[in-house]
Amino acid sequence: MRSRYSAYVLGLEPYLLATWHMSTRPPALDLSAEATTRWLGLDVKRHEPTGSSDAKATAIVEFVARYKTGGRAHRLHEISRFVRENNRWYYLDGDHG
């Protein structure tokens, strides 16, 4: 989660897409539309495994990311789902709280 947050801060679309599971990955991200966004911090609230087997594991990560855009502060509160395949973690999706 921290690496994906850092990728958003740095505008690293290739990394974000590479760490997004192919079943839910969009064809592209328009990070240039977020050029005026200033990321202020990430607070990981919890992370926990939700299932596992020899070849596959799943987990959730709850976080709050703070950012500023247009002079206004915002919070993104999400519970993200991840899956591990071939020893790599991939972002599946998230529910905004």
The pLDDT tens digits of the residues spanning 2-36 come to 999 999 999 899 999 999 999 999 999 988 777 78
Q: In this structure, what token pair is assigned to residue 96?
A: 């905004």
pLDDT at position 30 is 85
Q: How far apart are CA 14 and CA 4, in angstroms?
A: 11
pTM, to two decimals: 0.87
What is the domain-level CATH number for residue 38? 3.10.450.50
Q: Is 53 helix (H, G, I), strand (E, B) or coil?
A: coil
Residue 3: which of 71, 61, 85, 72 has the closest Cα?
61
Q: How far apart are CA 9 and CA 19, in angstroms?
A: 15
pLDDT at position 31 is 85
Domain that holds residue 88: 2-96
pLDDT at position 36 is 84
pLDDT in tens, 31-66: 877 778 899 999 999 999 887 665 569 999 999 999
Q: Is 3 helix (H, G, I), strand (E, B) or coil?
A: helix
